[in-house]
Amino acid sequence: MHLPTWGDEVSGANEKIGGIVEIRPSLLAADFSRLADHAREALAAGAHALHADIMDGQFVPPITYGANVVKSVVDATGAVVDAHLMIVDPEKQVKAFADAGVRGVTVHIEATPHLHRLLGMIRDAGLEAGVAINPATPLGDSLQYIMPLLDRVLVMSVNPGWGGQSFIENSLEKIRFVAAQLKAAGSTASIQVDGGVIPANAGDLVRAGATELVAGSAVFKGDVAANISALRDAVSAALSA
């Protein structure tokens, strides 16, 4: 089996283009004084799931929230939540987030020297296992050896740490490359994109192969229902083109 390398042709959408593309609002941009209500508002407007950005002040500068807050959102909304761990020693937190009721845990390829073992630990906890890739991290054949353990690949389209950043344009090339590698391996893993996702680029992301769009400010700042409708319209236009 030949997996595409960075020099190979990676243009074209992946095989999932005709399926559902999920919009997953990031709780990082929600109003924390009414977190559950804001989350319910997004779900009622058509969001498919919620995304929890966990930051520890070490792997990235900010500190956000932990498993107890995520559990409160899961309990209050009944939503599917995936936890994105931007932390050092992510191995130590898998059980806590499993107990919090998340559906999946995504860890950074840059955060652990034992990625294969960690993804297996996440799977053994009954969760979807994901790997996140920072903008400057080269891919090469790094996915090849963990492909059987992957349920999700998260392409960071901003440098992790803060919401509201602008989309890094060459992330589209990385999404196409990941899509080509997954297709070549026969993997059904989702391709999630997080960072600077807005209606204006949502169509390009879908055409590149993204199947899950994480949006924070683009959902929770202003009219949540109208914001999600704009994202859904952009996705629908890309899928029907």
* Selected catalytic residue, list 37, 141, 194, 233: 194
pLDDT (tens, 9 = 90+) of the chain, 241 residues, equals 445 544 444 333 333 333 589 999 999 999 999 999 999 999 999 999 999 999 999 999 999 999 999 999 999 999 999 999 999 999 999 999 999 999 999 999 999 999 999 999 999 999 999 999 999 998 878 898 999 999 999 999 988 767 667 888 889 999 999 999 999 999 999 999 999 999 999 999 999 999 999 999 999 999 999 999 999 999 999 998 7
- What is the pTM (predicted TM-score) of this model? 0.91
Residue 2 falls inside a structural domain: no
Reference 153, options 211, 215, 66; nearest CA is 211
Q: Note whether residue 187 is domain-resident.
A: yes
Q: What's the number of CA atoms in the CB half-sphere (13 Å) around residue 46?
A: 16
Residue 72: how many other CB atoms lie within 10 Å: 14
- Domain around 34: 15-240
Residue 169 pLDDT: 85
What distance in Å separates the CA atoms of residue 232 and residue 228, rounded to the nearest whole number? 6
Which region holds residue 18: left if phi is over 0, alpha if psi is between -120 and 50, else beta?
alpha
Residues 6+ apart with CB under 8 A from 40: 76, 77
Active-site choice (37, 53, 56, 82)? 53
Angle between helices 35-44 and 224-240 (to 10 degrees): 40
Q: Does residue 4 form part of some domain?
A: no
Over residues 121-163, the pLDDT tens digits come to 999 999 999 999 999 998 878 898 999 999 999 999 988 767 6
CATH number of the domain to which 58 belongs: 3.20.20.70
- Does residue 60 form part of some domain? yes
Looking at the domain assignment, is residue 81 inside a domain?
yes
7 domain residue, yes or no: no
**For residue 134, how far is the Cα from the chain centroid?**
12
Token pair 């939503």 in the structure block, residue:
79
Question: Is 74 part of a structural domain of the chain?
Answer: yes
Give just the sign of the alpha carbon dihedral 32, 129, 177, 236: negative
Q: How many domains does the chain have?
A: 1
**65, part of any domain:** yes
Q: Which amino acid is at 113?
A: P
Residue 53 annotated as catalytic:
yes
Please give the pLDDT value at position 16.
Answer: 39
Q: What is the DSSP string of 64-117?
A: ---HHHHHHHHHHH---EEEEEESSSGGGGHHHHHHHT-SEEEEETTS-S-HHH
Q: Measured between alpha carbons, how far is 11 from 159 in angstroms, rounded to an integer? A: 24
